[in-house]
Amino acid sequence: MEKSKTMTQEKFGEKDFQTIIGNLLRYGVWISLSVAFIGGIVYLMHHGSDIEDYSVFKENDRNIFEVFANVYNGVIHGSGESIIFFGVILLFLTPVFRVLLSLFSFLLEKDYLYVTITAIVIGIIILSISFGFSH
């Protein structure tokens, strides 16, 4: 009897964890889209009549810490562009948080094969972000 009770508790815990992961993805997307939308409104309020010159592409050679610092400072000062970019960053971070949450879940379940696979995925994400911002 106790064995079936323990199995039921484990399945209930796994189901709760899957619900948390699902909610993380759902709310992460909605929050990031809302932030970007608010940033768009702020940007249009200040720059709605500006004419953009799309004939020149400007590339910034900065590392990721400079980008985050500039976005943070821009959000603090109410820059519409920075708020939009912050929403995009949140959108990119949503699945990353899902992978980190999965790693935590696999550690609790002591499923070390999936812990290893998830750690490799996290390593690939970190490497791709690192090499994506440095030239």
Instruction: Indicate the domain borders of the chain.
Output: 15-47+60-133
The number of CA neighbours under 13 Å toward the Cβ of 46 is: 11
In this prediction the pTM is: 0.73
Token pair for residue 46? 């200040």
Measured CA to CA in angstroms, residue 46 lies from 8, 53, 99, 114 at distances of: 57, 17, 38, 48
The pLDDT, as a whole number, for residue 133 is: 57
Going 95 to 97 to 100 to 106, the CA torsion angle's sign is negative
- Identify whether the C-beta of residue 132 lies closer than 8 Å to the C-beta of residue 62: no
Going 46 to 38 to 73 to 135, the CA torsion angle's sign is negative
pLDDT per 10-residue tile (average), the chain, 135 residues: 48 72 91 96 87 75 78 93 94 90 86 92 86 60
